[in-house]
Each structure stands twice: as structure tokens, then as C-alpha cells.
């Protein structure tokens, strides 16, 4: 059972990573980051059965932080969208050298 | 004890005392320096004012003699010669004080420690003994007269204050040179006079040629200074000190007679002396140095600075006595220079060039003297030469001054220094004419003028050195030949300048005039000295004969005895190793016979020469052509030595420098530096490719890195 859970976690994580690297839409990238976080959560939960309750505790922390992060991140994206009228990250190059 | 006495004994490091307590030696040195400071400030002020005038659009005229002389003109007139007069009087007081006492050890006044580095300690100390005092007498005495002469000569020059500042500074350094109690002090003076020489040769620096002459003098002297420095290094390595007294006392024990070290030191010292005293092969700068104002030529390039080499050899007499090869080299260099320069002087038309080559030739005589160990004779000729050559140069200055005025009045662009443009000046400048004839007879060696006693003593000593080797017979013959040539070229100069018909031109003739009093008075004083100056060192046998008026001439061998304490140890070494001088010259005859022969020959050459030159038709420079061929052409072009140096030394050096500049510096060094820069920039450019500024790229690279790490961990 553990092996399947970890494989699924790995697949989810790779999908998330690929999404972050490939997509240019800020919201999609944001979603992919969430996907990565939750892939890790899945591993934690699966492994806690063998190692201890700490994994599940960590999952709660991650979900809390992710919720806060989502709030801030979405606020930034909305703010940027108001300014540029786009959420394509390639256009956000004002601070680029 | 008086206050001054207390002060000076308190300052003295090692007071030989013996009854001679020098009066304010430091002040003698300080006075010309103060004169330099005062005149220098005035020169700066007048320079700023002059620049203001030029900016205001006024043309710079020939001074401003009519519209009231400003302070920057009138003050140097008093400061310049004034400090010299006080310095001379102080020196005279010391000299008279020393006359009365038997001083065997030099008196040393140490003021402060100049350098104290590890094993080397150099005191700022002055040494007063017979040699330095006689040099000080010449420097301040002749120097004072030349300062006075300059007042008249340079009156209309815009750089009047600057001129006196340089002249005072020169005297300060010259006194440092002769008064210093150790080699570094002497070296300071040595370099200082070189600097002043450079500044004064290029005094009219707007003229490219004159500025170049100054540079030439400076650069040629550097070669000699290298020798002097090497000698000092060797002396320090061997003796651990650079004080005269310590070195000369220890020298006979430390240095083996004729050993390598002694010879090397002597030869390096000789190289230094050759540079400063304009001897073959480094004499080329002195004739060019005539570009400076004429009183400068008289003071620096005839009477004082160029004799520094002779002073150096006389001062280091012990070292030369220990190195027979070095001493023989000194004598040979002197004889070769004397003859060589005299031949060139035969065919020069520039009045100052003739005197310049004459100076080189006479310096050769002095080198001969100190080379054969006759140090007193060398210093004797140095002194009398200072009198009559300063007189000749100042007389030439008066002539040039007058010629310049005459040519300037009608705007004729003739050369004021070319003797072909002169002739018959006797009628216009009787005082100059008379005094210059005195000097000419003196340098020719006619009895009873000063040169007779000093030059014939040198010839005598060279001749009587013959037992030491056949070389000296050759040198003796060269010396006699030179003496005859000297009589001839000086007669030629006098006849071409003062006798015959005037060639200056109808319009210019009324403007020719005798020099003002400030110039003729020094001429008169120097003329008197050119006569009586030789009487201080009349050999005993000569004095008893007709040449001494059967004992009427005042002093017998005075300078020889005066110099004895300074050269005693050198003479002792010479007596032990080489032996005494012969009693007669190589071709028989004693003092009196050779005295008669010498003066007779000199007089004969003067008379025949006057007849010869007088009968020749001379045309003004613009109408005459340079000699076409033969010996005359060779001499006219100064044996092509300058051309030879240019072809074989200067141009290869310039070529080498150009190669170093174009290839070593610009290509190799600059190329390496630039290459390092280019490569760094290339690396930077390559690295910057990874810095896109896009967060995605970084994330991608981080991911790749993480994957790579993971791969390493797993496999």
C-alpha cells in the first residue's frame, strides 16, 4: 500500500514541478506549487503509518501555511493583473537586469 | 671662551683644534642659499607679473630700463653679489686664520646626523682644511667678481632675478661640494652644481637649441655620476663609513697597493671626475654648455664646477696613490684631452667655443698633474686657471655684449659670437682688450704671468715622472705640444677679435662700446690676479734665478707647503712605491732651463701666431665658407666626435628605446595586461548567459540540480 501511495506522490510532485517550470500563467503556476505541496503531504501521511504521528502533524502545518500563502499569493496576482491586465509571468520583467 | 666659540665647540663632533677655530663655516654655506631663496621669491613675483603683462597684450621688451626699475630688478643686484661678498669676506677671515697655524688634521664641524641607517651613519658635517679653504677662496672670490659682472651683463634680461637665484644656488652647492666632510655631502654638492649647470645652460629655454644643450650636459654627467656612485658603494662596502678622514686614514691598511679594489675605486672615481670635468670621452657637453649666459660659462664651465673632478682626485689622493693604474689613467686621460681639445680650438670661429675647448684642454692639464701625484700643482693650476679663464670668458662676454648691442641697433642678423664678424675691437673696448691680453699671456705660459708658473710646473712634474715609465715621456711631449697649441689658438682669438680692421659693418660700428664699470672692474681685478696669482707657488730654484727676480717674487713653494698636510699620506705612499721625481726633465735641463725654454717658446708662438693670423684675410661669417677638406675641415667639425656619438651611441640607444617602447611595452606588457582583462570579460559574458532574470530558468536549473543530486544519491 505504501509503495502505491509514494509513487502517486512522486507523480503528483513531478507534474507540479513541470507545471511550474513550463507554464507561464501565474495562476496555473500557483496551482502547480499547491500540487507540489500536496504531493509532499501525501508522502507524509503515507509514511506516518510506519514512522509516527509527526508526519500528520506536519501535514497540518503545511496546509495552514499553504492557506496563508494562497491568500497572499492570489492577492499579489490580482494586484499584478490590475496593473498589467495579464497574468503571463514573461511580462513581469520590470526588475530584470 | 666667546659665545660663538662655545657654540661651535659644542657642535663639533671631533675638533682637531690645533689653534684653528673656523669662524662660522656654516654661515658661508648658508649665505648663498639665503640669496637663492630671496632671489627665487623675487623671480617668482617678477615671473607672475611678466605673465600678467603678456596676458594684457603687452609685448615683452628688453626689460624696462627707462620706466623706473621695479624692486624685482633692483633687489637682486644687491642680494646676489652681496651674499657673495659677505661669504668671501668670511672665507678670507678663515683663510688668514689658517695661515697662522700649522694644521695637520682637518677641522670638522658636524651639525646634525643626516642619515643613520643600520651600519651607515652620515653626518651633515663640513670639513675645513687647506684644500677646502683654497677651493672656497676660488669659489667665493671669483664667484663674487662674476656676480658683479653679471649685474652689467644681464641688466636687460627679463629673467634677471631668476638668473641670480640660480647663480646663488650654484655657489651654495659648489661650497657644499668642496666643504663636505664625507662622500655623500660631496655628492649632494656634485649633483646640485649639475642641476644648476643644467638650469643655467638652458636659461634661455625658449630657444630649443639651448634647452637641448642643458639636457645634453645633464645626461652626459649622469654617466660620470654612475662611476662616482659605484666608487662610493665600494668604499662603503670596504670601509663601513663614508667619512673622508676615516677612509683616508684606514686606506693604506684596508687596500692593497695596486690591488683590484683600489684600482676599481680609483677608476670609478675617475669616471665621475671625467664626466664633471669634461674629459675625453665625456667632454662633449662642455662646448654645448656655452649656450648659457657668458658669466655662467665663466663661473660654472671654466672656474669652478668643471674643476670639481680635479678637486675629487686631489681629495681622494690617498686612493689614487694606492692605485698606480688609476693614477696613470688619470694622467693619460688628461693628456689626451688636453691635446685633443687644443687641436679643435685651433679651427673654431665662435669666440666662446674656442674658450670652451681651451677650458677642456686646461682641465686636461690639471688631470695630468693630479695623475702624476702633483696634487698641489693641479690645485695651483686650478686656481690660476680660475683667474685667467674667468677673465677670458668675462672679456668675451663684454665683447659679445657690445657686438649684440651693435647688431641689435641695426637689426642685423649676424652672429654676435663669431670672431669673423669682429676684428679691430681694440679701439672700441680698450680695457677689455688689455685685460684679455693679460689673460692670454697667462694661459699661454709667458713669464711672469700666472699660467707660466702653474702650467710649467705641471709639465715639469709630468716630465720628471719619466722614471716611473715610458708612458710619462709621451705624456710630457703631449703636454708641451698642447702648451704650444694653447699659445697659438689664444693668439688667434685675440688677433681675430681685437686687431686688424673692423668687420662688423659701417652701420654697426658707432654702436660698439666699452662695457660699463660693473663689468670692467671685475675684468681689472681678475687681470691683476692673472699676473700675481702665479707668484704664490714659485719653485725655489726659479725664485733664485732671473725668473724670480733673483728672489724678488714674494713666496717660494708656498702652495706646495700649504697643501702638504692634505696630500702627505699620498705622497708618502708614492715615495715608497714609485720613488721620487727625477731631478731633470726627460730631455735634460732643470727648472730654470725649462722655464726659459717654455716661456721663450710660448712668446715665440704668440708673436709668430699674431703675425700669421694678422696677415690672413678674414671675411665676415656670412661671406666665408666652411673649410672644404683636409685637417682644417676635420678640426672645424671637431673631429666629428659628436657625429660619431650620435651615430654609434645616441641613435642605437634611441632605437633600442623605441623597440622597448613599441614592442616590449606596448605589445608585450600592455598586451598581457589587456589579455587578462579580455579573458576575464569573456568569462563574465559566458557566466552572464545563465543569469536571465527569469525565475523560471532558475527554478529549472534548481530542479535539474536536485535531480542530479538525487541521481548521485541513488546510483
Distant-in-sequence, close-in-space partners of B9: CB < 8 Å, separation ≥ 6: B1, B15
Q: Nearest Cβ partner of B699 from A20, A24, A93?
A: A20
Report CB contact under 8 Å: A20, B693.
no
- Residue A94 contacts B, CB cutoff 8 Å: no
Which residue in chain B has the smallest CA separation from A97? B693
What residues of B are in contact with residue A97 (Cβ under 8 Å)?
Answer: 691, 693
Distance from CA of A19 to the nearest CA of B (A): 11
pLDDT at B60: 52
**d(Cα B380, Cα B388) in Å, to the nearest integer?**
13
Distant-in-sequence, close-in-space partners of B6: CB < 8 Å, separation ≥ 6: none
What residues of A are in contact with residue B703 (Cβ under 8 Å)?
Answer: 17, 21
Q: Nearest Cβ partner of B700 from A21, A24, A93?
A: A21
**d(Cα B301, Cα B401) in Å, to the nearest integer?**
19
Which residue in chain B has the smallest CA separation from A20? B696
Distance from CA of A87 to the nearest CA of B (A): 15
Residue bearing the bigger pLDDT, B690 or A86:
A86
Domain boundaries of chain A, sorted by first residue: 2-84
DSSP B552-581: TSS-BSHHHHHHHHHHHHHHHHHHHHT-PP
H or E stretch at B686:
helix B670-688
pLDDT at B15: 44
Residue position matching grid coordinates 715622472: B465
Angle at CA of residue B528, ends B397 and B382, nearest 5°: 75
First to last CA, chain B: 104
Q: Taking a C-beta distance cutoff of 8 angstroms, is the pair B279, B334 a contact?
A: yes
pLDDT at B69: 65
Report CB contact under 8 Å: B696, A20.
yes
Report CB contact under 8 Å: B693, A21.
no
Distances (CA, A) of B580 to B203, B301, B332, B371: 48, 35, 20, 15
First to last CA, chain A: 50
Grid coordinates given for B237: 662596502
What residues of B are in contact with residue A96 (Cβ under 8 Å)?
Answer: 693-694
pLDDT band at A96, cuts 50/70/90? low
**Interface confidence (ipTM) of the complex:** 0.78
**d(Cα A81, Cα A73) in Å, to the nearest integer?**
12
pLDDT mean by block of 10 residues, chain B; 715 residues: 41 50 88 94 88 73 52 86 94 90 87 88 91 94 94 88 94 95 94 94 92 92 93 94 92 90 94 93 92 92 92 94 93 95 93 94 95 93 95 94 89 88 90 95 90 91 88 93 94 92 85 89 94 88 78 81 90 88 80 87 92 86 78 86 90 94 93 95 91 79 92 92
Distances (CA, A) of B244 to B54, B124, B235, B588: 52, 13, 10, 40
pLDDT at B10: 40
Question: In terms of DSSP H, where are the helices of B207-289?
Answer: 208-239, 244-254, 260-276, 285-288
Mutate to test the interface with B, among A15, A20, A23, A88 (most CBs of B within 10 A): A20
What residues of A are in contact with residue B699 (Cβ under 8 Å)?
Answer: 20-21
- Residue A25 contacts B, CB cutoff 8 Å: no
DSSP B60-88: --S--SSS---HHHHHHHHHHHHHHHHHH
Cα atoms found within 13 Å of the Cα of residue B676, Cβ hemisphere only: 5
pLDDT at A39: 95
pLDDT at B448: 84
Count A/B contacts: CB-CB distance under 8 Å. Answer: 18
Distances (CA, A) of A24 to A36, A50, B403, B697: 17, 39, 98, 12
Distances (CA, A) of B473 to A10, B477, B556, B579, B596: 114, 6, 27, 16, 20
pLDDT at B150: 93
Q: Taking a C-beta distance cutoff of 8 angstroms, is the pair B571, B458 a contact?
A: no
The conformation of residue B668, written as its DSSP 8-state character, comes to: I
Enter the CATH code of domain A2-84: 1.10.287.3510
To the nearest 10 degrees (0 to 180), the angle between helices B308-315 and B351-371 is 10
**d(Cα B628, Cα B317) in Å, to the nearest integer?**
47
Q: Nearest Cβ partner of A97 from B693, B695, B696?
A: B693
Q: List residues of B whose CB lies inside 8 A of any A CB.
A: 691, 693-696, 699-700, 703
Amino acid at each position: 500500500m505504501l509503495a502505491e501511495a509514494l509513487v502517486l506522490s512522486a507523480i503528483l510532485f513531478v507534474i507540479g514541478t513541470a507545471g511550474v517550470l513550463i507554464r507561464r500563467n501565474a495562476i496555473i503556476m500557483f496551482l502547480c506549487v499547491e500540487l507540489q505541496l500536496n504531493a509532499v503531504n501525501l508522502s507524509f501521511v503515507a509514511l506516518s503509518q510506519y514512522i509516527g504521528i509527526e508526519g500528520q502533524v506536519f501535514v497540518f502545518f503545511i496546509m495552514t501555511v499553504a492557506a496563508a500563502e494562497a491568500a497572499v499569493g492570489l492577492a499579489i496576482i490580482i494586484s499584478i493583473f490590475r496593473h498589467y491586465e495579464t497574468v503571463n509571468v514573461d511580462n513581469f520583467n520590470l526588475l530584470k537586469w | 671662551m666667546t659665545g660663538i666659540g662655545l657654540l661651535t665647540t659644542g657642535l663639533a663632533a671631533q675638533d682637531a683644534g690645533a689653534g684653528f677655530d673656523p669662524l662660522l663655516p656654516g654661515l658661508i654655506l648658508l649665505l648663498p642659499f639665503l640669496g637663492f631663496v630671496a632671489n627665487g621669491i623675487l623671480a617668482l613675483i617678477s615671473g607672475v607679473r611678466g605673465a600678467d603683462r603678456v596676458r594684457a597684450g603687452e609685448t615683452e621688451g628688453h626689460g624696462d630700463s627707462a620706466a623706473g626699475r621695479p624692486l624685482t630688478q633692483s633687489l637682486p643686484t644687491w642680494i646676489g653679489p652681496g651674499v657673495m661678498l659677505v661669504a668671501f669676506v668670511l672665507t678670507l677671515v678663515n683663510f688668514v686664520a689658517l695661515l697662522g697655524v700649522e694644521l695637520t688634521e682637518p677641522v670638522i664641524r658636524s651639525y646634525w646626523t643626516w642619515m643613520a641607517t643600520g651600519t651607515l651613519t652620515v653626518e651633515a658635517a663640513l670639513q675645513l682644511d687647506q684644500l677646502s679653504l683654497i677651493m672656497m677662496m676660488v669659489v667665493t672670490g671669483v664667484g663674487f667678481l662674476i656676480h658683479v659682472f653679471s649685474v652689467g651683463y644681464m641688466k636687460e634680461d627679463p629673467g634677471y632675478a631668476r638668473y641670480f637665484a640660480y647663480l646663488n644656488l650654484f655657489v651654495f652647492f659648489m661650497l657644499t661640494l668642496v666643504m663636505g666632510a664625507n662622500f655623500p655631502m660631496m655628492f649632494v654638492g656634485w649633483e646640485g652644481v649639475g642641476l644648476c649647470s643644467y638650469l643655467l645652460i638652458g636659461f634661455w629655454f625658449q630657444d630649443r637649441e639651448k634647452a637641448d644643450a642643458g639636457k645634453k650636459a645633464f645626461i652626459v654627467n649622469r654617466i660620470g655620476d654612475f662611476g662616482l656612485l659605484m666608487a662610493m658603494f665600494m668604499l662603503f662596502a670596504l670601509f663601513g663609513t663614508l667619512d673622508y678622514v676615516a677612509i683616508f686614514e684606514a686606506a693604506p691598511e684596508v687596500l692593497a697597493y695596486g690591488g683590484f679594489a683600489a684600482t676599481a675605486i680609483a677608476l670609478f672615481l675617475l669616471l665621475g671626475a671625467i664626466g664633471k670635468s669634461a674629459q675625453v670621452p665625456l667632454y662633449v657637453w662642455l662646448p654645448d654648455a656655452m649656450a648659457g649666459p657668458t658669466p655662467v660659462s665663466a663661473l660654472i664651465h671654466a672656474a669652478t664646477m668643471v674643476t670639481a673632478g680635479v678637486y675629487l682626485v686631489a681629495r681622494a689622493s690617498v686612493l689614487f696613490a694606492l692605485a698606480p693604474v688609476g693614477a696613470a689613467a688619470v694622467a693619460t686621460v688628461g693628456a689626451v684631452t688636453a691635446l685633443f681639445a687644443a687641436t679643435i680650438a685651433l679651427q673654431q670661429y665662435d669666440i666662446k667655443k674656442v674658450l670652451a675647448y681651451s677650458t677642456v684642454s686646461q682641465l686636461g692639464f690639471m688631470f695630468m698633474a693630479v695623475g702624476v701625484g702633483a696634487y698641489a700643482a693641479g690645485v695651483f693650476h686650478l686656481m690660476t686657471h680660475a683667474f685667467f679663464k674667468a677673465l677670458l670668458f668675462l672679456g668675451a662676454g663684454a665683447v659679445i655684449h657690445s657686438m649684440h648691442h651693435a647688431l641689435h641697433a641695426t637689426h642685423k642678423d649676424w652672429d654676435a659670437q663669431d670672431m669673423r664678424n669682429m676684428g679691430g675691437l681694440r679701439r672700441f673696448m680698450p680695457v677689455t682688450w688689455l685685460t684679455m691680453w693679460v689673460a692670454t699671456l697667462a694661459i699661454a705660459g709667458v713669464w711672469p704671468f700666472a699660467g707660466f708658473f702653474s702650467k710649467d710646473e705641471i709639465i715639469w712634474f709630468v716630465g720628471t715622472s719619466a722614471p716611473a715609465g715610458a708612458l710619462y715621456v709621451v705624456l710630457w711631449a703631449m703636454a708641451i705640444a698642447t702648451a704650444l697649441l694653447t699659445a697659438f689658438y689664444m693668439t688667434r682669438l685675440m688677433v681675430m677679435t681685437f686687431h686688424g680692421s673692423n668687420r662688423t659693418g659701417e652701420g654697426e660700428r658707432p654702436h660698439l662700446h666699452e662695457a660699463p664699470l660693473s663689468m670692467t672692474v671685475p675684468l681689472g681685478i681678475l687681470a691683476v690676479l692673472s699676473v700675481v696669482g702665479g707668484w704664490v707657488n714659485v719653485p725655489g730654484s726659479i725664485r733664485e734665478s732671473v725668473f724670480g727676480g733673483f728672489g724678488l717674487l714674494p713666496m717660494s713653494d708656498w702652495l706646495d707647503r700649504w697643501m702638504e698636510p692634505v696630500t702627505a699620506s699620498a705622497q708618502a705612499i708614492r715615495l715608497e712605491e714609485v720613488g721620487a721625481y727625477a731631478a731633470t726633465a726627460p730631455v735634460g735641463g732643470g727648472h730654470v732651463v725649462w722655464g726659459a725654454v717654455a716661456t721663450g717658446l710660448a712668446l715665440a708662438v704668440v708673436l709668430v701666431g699674431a703675425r700669421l693670423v694678422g696677415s690672413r684675410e678674414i671675411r665676415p661669417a656670412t661671406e666665408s665658407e666652411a673649410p672644404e677638406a683636409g685637417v682644417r675641415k676635420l678640426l672645424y667639425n671637431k673631429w666629428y666626435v659628436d657625429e660619431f656619438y650620435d651615430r654609434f651611441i645616441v641613435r642605437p640607444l634611441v632605437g633600442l628605446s623605441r623597440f622597448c617602447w613599441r614592442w616590449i611595452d606596448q605589445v608585450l606588457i600592455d598586451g598581457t595586461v589587456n589579455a587578462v582583462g579580455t579573458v576575464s570579460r569573456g568569462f563574465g559574458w559566458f557566466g552572464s548567459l545563465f543569469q536571465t532574470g527569469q525565475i523560471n530558468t532558475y527554478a529549472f536549473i534548481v530542479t535539474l540540480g536536485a535531480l542530479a543530486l538525487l541521481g548521485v544519491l541513488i546510483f
